[in-house]
Amino acid sequence: MVVGSAMHQRVSFAQMPAKAKRSEDRGLSYAEAGVDIDAGDRAADLILSHLRRTHGPRVIANPGGFAGLFRLDFNEHLFKKNYRDPVLVACTDGVGTKVKLAAQLGIHDTVGIDLVAMSVNDMLVQGAEPLIFLDYIGVHRVDPEVIERIVKGVADGCEQAGCALLGGETAEMPDVYALGDYDLAGFAVGVVELRRAVNAERVSPGDVVLGLASSGVHSNGFSLVRRIVSHAKLDLGRVYADLDPSRTLGEVLLTPTRIYTRSVGRVLRTYRVKSVVTGMAHITGGGLAGNLARSIGPECDAVLRRSAWEAPPVFEFLRRHGRVDPEEMDRVFNMGVGYCLVVRPTFADAISRRLERAGERVFRLGRIARGKGRVRLT
């Protein structure tokens, strides 16, 4: 049974087998089956303001509708995008078992940022501008205040990315999710001019590889993170001296994934004629080598210097307490580099300065050489 629209009443409830014993004078109810429609309606009311604050002039009001509406272009000259050959770019992703940590600690307003980041950073690799975002929240039981905190985080992420939170879905399924657990999935759509789409075939020997600092672990490898915490009997509520002295271990691990769309998008818009950015990579599961290799083509290698950047303390903390092999760390985590750009050598310094002015910490990681599509760390 689906209640309401994508924007205003976003809660749906899967049909559940009845568990309660029927009384003699009445039939079974949905509430007795474990689903609270009233709580879903209240959650929908609480999150409406978070959706609205992400909406710009291209969002079309659709009260009571069953889907969100968004203009690819806008009639008013001030907002007109003037796409000539637009290509839609779509991504979907989740936050993985980082949600288990959020649920355990009762910190629900940051994983929504992670959710947005995982999709919009991926589409940015193609040179796309993120337009709209939708979220899915699966829960054991709808707690309106928890749902509101999660969606607040999603809206915060959309504001950082410059896209509209157009709608979403919350599914209450007590037979699927354990008490206190929830899961998140996100769906993003963006657009890029066909001639501006980033293509790995443009990467050439001599190009420079720039890395942008991550904010921490981001949203990959949390099954290993949680195993390390359990194995080493670490206290998530403790402040460890070799990490951030102002935050607990749990807060450090829940640091949201950095969103790169505004800073990198600014660079892409600056060079509208020349294709000075030849490749990009979002560093997620598979690490720096695994993800950058997807963006350089089969006839090039990326030769990177390990001394070009220093991993944040959280990675050495996890490696030491889990006695994790360094190669495994490189394969699972971003190790301090969350995003990469491959750029023409004559523009590398100018692009680095632009990114730094936009708030990024930039590392000059290495260069592109002739090869076989590998990433070599020296």
Q: What is the DSSP letter of 21?
A: P
For residues 37-41, average pLDDT: 68
CB atoms within 10 A of CB 84: 7
Structure token pair of residue 18: 């009845």
273-324 per-position pLDDT tens digit: 788 999 999 999 999 999 999 999 899 999 999 999 999 999 999 999 999 9
pLDDT at 66: 83
Question: pLDDT at residue 264 above 70?
Answer: yes
Q: Report how far apart, in Å, the C-alpha atoms of 323 and of each of 17, 155, 209, 238, 327 are.
A: 46, 38, 31, 20, 12
- Say which residue, 154 or 13, is predicted with more confidence: 154
94-127 per-position pLDDT tens digit: 999 999 999 999 999 999 999 999 999 999 999 9
- Residue 213: pLDDT band (50, 70, 90) is very high
CB 302 within 8 A of CB 296: yes
pLDDT at 15: 35
pLDDT at 2: 29
For residues 357-364, average pLDDT: 98
Structure token pair of residue 283: 């560093």
Task: State phi, psi for 138 to the nearest 5 degrees.
Answer: -105, 130
* CA pair distance 170, 6, nearest whole angstrom: 10
Lowest mean pLDDT among 3-17, 66-80, 210-224, 337-351: 3-17
CATH of domain 11-17+28-193: 3.30.1330.10
* CA pair distance 165, 24, nearest whole angstrom: 46
* CA pair distance 128, 120, nearest whole angstrom: 9
pLDDT at 46: 74
- Residue 130: pLDDT band (50, 70, 90) is very high
Amino acid at 93: D
Architecture of domain 200-377: Alpha-Beta Complex (3.90)
Q: Is the pTM of this model over 0.85?
A: yes
Question: pLDDT at residue 21 above 80?
Answer: no
Structure token pair of residue 278: 């030849």
- Residue 28: pLDDT band (50, 70, 90) is low
Q: Whole-angstrom distance between the N-terminal and C-terminal Cα of the chain? A: 57
For residues 173-195, average pLDDT: 94
Tell me what percent of the residues of the chain surpass a pLDDT of 70: 87
pLDDT at 6: 41
Interacting residues of 187 by C-beta distance below 8 A, sequence separation 6+: 90, 91, 92, 119, 133, 134, 135, 136
- Residue 74: pLDDT band (50, 70, 90) is low
The mean pLDDT of the chain is: 88
CB 358 within 8 A of CB 282: no
Lowest mean pLDDT among 25-39, 187-201, 220-234, 260-274: 25-39
CB atoms within 10 A of CB 112: 28
pLDDT at 324: 97
Q: Which residues pair with 170 in a beta bridge?
A: 11, 137
- Say which residue, 56 or 164, is predicted with more confidence: 164
pLDDT at 297: 87
Burial grade of 261 (CB within 10 A; 0-12, 13-18, 19 or more): buried
* CA pair distance 176, 258, nearest whole angstrom: 31
How do strand 164-172 and strand 11-13 relate by DSSP bridges? parallel
Domain residue extents for the chain? 11-17+28-193, 200-377
Tell me what percent of the residues of the chain surpass a pLDDT of 90: 74
Structure token pair of residue 358: 């936009």
The three-point CA angle 280-346-296 to 5° equals 25
